[in-house]
Amino acid sequence: MEDTVENKKSRTRKWKVFFLALGFSLLGLPVLFVVRSLLFQSFNIPSASSEPNLMVGDYVFVSKFAYGYSKYSFSPFNFFSFEGRTGSRLPQRGDLTVFKDPRDVRIDYIKRVVGLPGDHIQLINGVLNINGSPVQLESIELPPEYYDQAGVKFYRETLPGGRSYVVGDFGETAQDNTEEYVVPAKHYFMLGDSRDNSQDSRFLDKIGYVPEENLVGRVAMIWQNVNGFSILNRPEEIHPKP
């Protein structure tokens, strides 16, 4: 079959499209690496330990530059290995934070920072105490969709300094009364917002105190829920004015 001019032009166009797509792919990989390793990473919420603020099926963007970088910031690539953190900005009480399990760094958790290095943390009758003082709790009502489990009650918890958010409570449980924890230097104390449904720093043989180098980043936003639960009308989190 005679190779016409039109056939030659068609093959040339196809090769141009191929090389153009290849070029965009090769350029996109470094951009993807930079965004995922240094800027933002998406995580999903598989458990109810952070309800009512993060619901099962949520996907969140986590700011990886919020606290600087450690060797775990580049997971799963792990191109760099160094001790501690670099360019670190310290977490604040009340931050929802992603961190590596201190006993198995293949596992990521999302919990709330309630204890900073040197803090004395204790739960007494279900009330969080920080450095000997109970935090403020106010009973609140949420929309009906948040009451899918019998007996759950919600409270607005206000930390020293004025930052506040909503926590869930299922009544009296063993973890409502704890020993006094003293947070070591360069470590943080984490709690789930669903206080009776969370494995967190209260369990020293499970998670315990979280080293600062295990911090991955701060939850920046919810971008979807795959179970159909609205990402709108979530409980308000209040940040004090500077």
Backbone angles phi, psi at 16, to 5 degrees: -65, -45
Amino acid 33: pLDDT: 44
Q: Is the residue at 235 inside a domain? A: no
Domain range enclosing 147: 5-224
45-92 pLDDT per residue, tens? 999 999 999 999 999 999 988 898 888 776 655 555 666 677 768 899
* The pLDDT value given to residue 69: 81
Query: Among residues 49, 70, 164, 201, which one is catalytic?
Result: 49
Residues 187, 234, 135: CA angle, nearest 5 degrees: 45
* Catalytic choice (111, 164, 194, 201): 111
Structural domain count, the chain: 1
Q: Is 111 a catalytic residue?
A: yes
210 closest CA partner among 110, 136, 124, 143: 110
Task: Look at residue 41 and tell me if it is in a domain.
Answer: yes
**Residue 193 belongs to a domain:** yes
Percent of the chain with pLDDT over 70: 79
Residue 190's DSSP bridge partners are 113
pLDDT tens digits, 198-211: 999 999 999 999 99
What contacts 24+ positions apart, CB below 8 Å, involve 124-127? 124/177, 125/176, 125/177, 126/169, 126/172, 126/173, 126/176, 126/177, 126/195
pLDDT tens by residue, 90-125: 899 999 999 999 999 999 999 999 999 999 999 999
For residue 104, tell me if it sits in a domain.
yes
User: Would 154 be classed as within a structural domain?
Assistant: yes
Pairing of strands 96-101, 104-115: antiparallel
234 part of a folded domain: no
Task: Give the closest residue to 193 by CA, choosing from 97, 9, 50, 48.
Answer: 50
Q: Which of 83, 91, 81, 94 is nearest to 53 (CA)?
A: 94
Strand-strand pairing, 133-134 and 215-225 = unpaired
CB 47 within 8 A of CB 58: no
E strand or H helix at 97: strand 96-101
CATH classification at residue 109: 2.10.109.10
* Residue 47 a catalytic site member: no
Q: Is residue 238 one of the residues assigned to a domain? A: no
| pLDDT, mean over the chain | 85
Instruction: Report phi then psi at 18, rounded to 5.
Output: -60, -50
Task: Assess if residue 237 is contained within a domain.
Answer: no
